[in-house]
């Protein structure tokens, strides 16, 4: 998985161009989870934002445009972070990009908003990530999770696991509620904006 995101950073980045016409039509879930994150950012005055699995900085750009007072992005792909640096250099707010495993890198919390968008798709064990998000968050976590869909599921599995050799994982509402409760979150709100995924909004 790490090799894939190192070698295919630019092509993967293009998949997350939410403004593209085809993306809007074919992948409305991307817009829904992005908008959910921005709604939370807007609810805080100049929030400090942590973005786990920040990738090439597409969400970061919007978060900063929506008034984030400081932004920290974590990703294990240095090529992805290179794209993010180019994308975010125009902003005056403090921006820090950290390369490494989120479970292990040193981060100074707390953060008002913690994002995990498109991250949990690729994690065989999601709970350690959710638990550390809770530890670092003083406000709200917004995270997206794929769920199995009879039509999109097989296509997605073929594209990632067969063609790109990247394992992907699916979640259920009951499993997500249990995991977030076990990790110490006080409240968990869940939406299903598309047919094949969940957006979780949790308060620490």
pLDDT at 25: 47
- Is the model's pLDDT at 1 over the cut of 60? no
- Is the model's pLDDT at 166 over the cut of 90? no
* Model confidence pLDDT, tens digit, residues 115-151: 999 999 999 999 999 999 999 999 999 999 998 666 6
46 burial via Cβ count (<10 Å: 0-12, 13-18, 19+):
exposed
For the chain, the average pLDDT equals 86
- Is the model's pLDDT at 64 over the cut of 60? yes
> Can you tell me the distance from the alpha carbon of 140 to that of 150, in angstroms, rounded to the nearest whole number?
31
pLDDT at 10: 53
Q: How far is CA 105 from CA 20, 43, 80, 197, in A?
A: 34, 28, 17, 28
Handedness of CA 64, 66, 70, 73 (dihedral sign): negative
Give the mean pLDDT of 108-115. Answer: 97
Give the mean pLDDT of 145-174. Answer: 74
Of the listed ranges 21-35, 42-56, 73-87, 168-182, the least confidently predicted one is 21-35
How sure is the predictor about 39, in pLDDT bands with cuts at 50, 70 and 90? very high
> Can you tell me the distance from the alpha carbon of 91 to that of 80, in angstroms, rounded to the nearest whole number?
18
**192 or 4: which leads in pLDDT:** 192
pLDDT over 70, % of the chain: 76
- Is the model's pLDDT at 22 over the cut of 90? no
> Can you tell me the distance from the alpha carbon of 149 to that of 196, in angstroms, rounded to the nearest whole number?
5
DSSP H or E segment with residue 21: helix 21-26
Listed in sequence order, the residues at least 6 apart from 111 whose beta carbon sits closer than 8 Å to its beta carbon are 47, 48, 49, 50, 72, 136, 137, 138, 139
Domain ranges within the chain, ordered by starting residue: 2-203
> Can you tell me the distance from the alpha carbon of 159 to that of 181, in angstroms, rounded to the nearest whole number?
33
pLDDT at 30: 83
Residue pair 189/200 in contact by the 8 Å Cβ criterion: yes
Domain 2-203 is found in CATH 3.10.580.10: no
pLDDT at 167: 76
């Amino acid at each position: 998985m790490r090799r894939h995101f190192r070698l295919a950073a630019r092509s993967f980045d293009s998949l997350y161009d939410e403004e593209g016409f085809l993306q809007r039509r074919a992948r409305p879930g991307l817009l829904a989870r992005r908008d959910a994150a921005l709604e939370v950012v807007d609810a805080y005055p100049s929030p400090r934002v942590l973005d786990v699995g920040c990738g090439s900085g597409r969400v970061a750009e919007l978060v900063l445009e929506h008034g984030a007072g400081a932004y920290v992005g974590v990703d294990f792909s240095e090529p992805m972070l290179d794209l993010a640096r180019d994308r975010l250099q125009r902003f005056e707010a403090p921006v820090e990009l950290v390369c490494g495993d989120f479970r292990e890198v040193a981060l100074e919390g707390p953060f008002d908003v913690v994002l995990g968008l498109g991250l949990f798709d690729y994690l065989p064990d999601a709970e350690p990530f959710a638990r550390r998000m809770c530890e670092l968050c003083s406000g709200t976590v917004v995270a997206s999770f794929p769920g199995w869909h009879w039509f999109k599921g097989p296509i997605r599995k073929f594209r990632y696991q067969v063609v790109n050799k990247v394992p992907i994982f699916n979640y259920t509402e009951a499993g997500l509620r249990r995991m977030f409760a076990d990790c110490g979150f006080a409240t968990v709100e869940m939406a299903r904006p598309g047919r094949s995924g969940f957006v979780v909004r949790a308060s620490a």
